[in-house]
Amino acid sequence: MPAMVEPPFSNPLFSSKITHNLKSVHCSSQAPNFLPIRYNSRTTTACSCSAENVDPAPVLLPHSIVFSRNPNLSSDISNRTTKDRREVVRLAWEKLVRWSRSWRSKAKTDDVLERTNKVVVLGGGSFGTAMAAHIGNRKSHLEVNMLVRDPQICRSINEKHCNIKYFPEHKLPENVVATTDAKAALLNADFCLHAIPVQFSSSFLEGIADCVDPGLPFISLSKGLELNTLRMMSQIIPRALRNPRQPYIVLSGPSFALELMNNLPTAMVVASKDKKLAKAAQQLLASTNLRISTSRDVTGVEIAGALKNVLAIAAGIVEGMNLGNNSMAALVAQGCSEIRWLATKMGAKSTTITGLSGTGDIMLTCFVNLSRNRTVGVRLGSGENLDDILRSMNQVAEGVSTAGAVIALAQKYNVKMPVLTAVARIIDNELTPQKAVRELMSLPQSLDCRLKKYEYAGFDLEYEIIHQRIDEQIQRRTPQSTNIHYDVLCKSFFSG
The Cα angle at residue 286 between residues 283 and 291, in degrees rounded to 5:
135
Cβ atoms 452, 463 nearer than 8 A: no
The candidate with the shortest Cα–Cα distance to 206, out of 235, 237, 250, 229, is 237
308 is catalytic: yes
**Which residues lie below 8 Å from residue 91, measured CB to CB, with a gap of 6+?**
none
Rounded Cα–Cα distance for residues 486 and 482 (Å) = 6
201, 233 contact by CB (below 8 A) = yes
Phi (first) and psi of residue 173, to 5 degrees: -60, 155
Q: How many helices (H) and strands (E) does the chain have?
A: 22, 11
d(CA 125, CA 371): 15
Phi and psi torsions of 143, nearest 5°: -85, 125
| Angle in degrees, CA 53, 56, 57, rounded to 5 | 120
* C-alpha distance from residue 135 to each of 14, 130, 144, 431, 450 (Å): 79, 9, 8, 44, 47
| Under 8 Å between Cβ of 218 and 186 | no
Query: Going by C-beta distance under 8 Å and a sequence separation of 6 or more, which residues neighbour residue 365?
Result: 254, 308, 309, 311, 312, 315, 371, 373, 374
Question: Which residues 6+ apart lie within 8 Å of 359 measured at CB?
Answer: 336, 353
Report the 10 Å Cβ neighbour count for 204: 18
Nearest residue to 318 via CA among 377, 385, 376, 388: 377
Among 106, 165, 308, 349, the one annotated catalytic: 308
CA distances from 209 to 98, 125, 186 (A): 48, 21, 10
Q: What 8-state DSSP symbol labels residue 356? A: I
* SS3 label, residue 72: helix
**Residue 103 Cα to chain centre, angstroms:** 24
225, amino acid identity: L
For the annotated catalytic residues, the residue numbers are 308
